[in-house]
Amino acid sequence: MPKFAANLTLLFTELPLLERFDAAHRAGFRAVELLIPYDAPVDDLAHALRDTGLHLALINTPAPDWAAGQRGLAALPGQTAAFRDTFETALHYAAHLRPDHIHVMAGLAVGPEAHATYLQNLRWASQRAPDQSLLIEPINPHDMPGFFLNDFAQVAAILDEIAAPNLALQFDAYHAHRITGDMPGAWAKYGPRARHIQVASAEGRHEPNRGAIDYPAFFALLDAQGYTGHVAGEYVPSARTEDGLDWIKAGV
């Protein structure tokens, strides 16, 4: 089975953030991801990882005003200086937490100017941190209207244009289903570009153990293909997190 990770932004939210690390470890996870870690002191997060022995698979770049609807800065015209500041914050956290990947959040933007801004910022980021794996992710327009990246072909074209060895795809199976209606087909076409996977049920974005996406078949395919990255549960638990973890039991 793949190496599973727990998204501590969405899972174990019955507990304060720093207590979720131990809960994830006790539940059988050996890795975690954090969408927005910046509300917690980096030293506290580092201690939580060290105390539990958990590995950090992923963090996002900051979205400084998430509560007001901001979803990143990388594609926002006129915000290049602000994006670079937030990227430096991500690198500061990464220096202490050692995540495998940083997801560079594109933000809410459309049009040619946004495209040019995004390319400029991704080129700069990939050169600024050549030894850090950076990821970009298409997000479906139903859940996040206006997000700049909303199509896998769009992402593939951007990756080809920038051609940076440290820049790759973050493949979210839930978003793939919502964008294409054919998650296995999207994986067959774009999976070779992916370094990190996230999973949730197609219906309601809950536990990846039922519904339209056949996750046992997908996990078996990943094994057969020799995928070595993490598969993170990025979903909204339907009840207590601990009550819905059967989907990881065969892989821990």
Q: What six digits make up the tokens of 15? A: 């507990």
Cβ of 38: how many Cβ atoms within 10 Å? 20
Each as own residue / partner, the long-range contacts of residues 48-52 (CB below 8 Å, 24 or more positions apart, any chain) are 48/18, 48/21, 48/22, 49/21, 49/97, 51/21, 51/22, 52/21, 52/22, 52/24, 52/25
Whether the Cβ atoms of residue 105 and residue 69 lie closer than 8 Å to each other? no
The set of catalytic residues is 137, 234
Return d(Cα 29, Cα 61) in angstroms, integer: 24
Q: Quick one: which of 145, 141, 67, 134 has its CA closest to 105?
A: 134
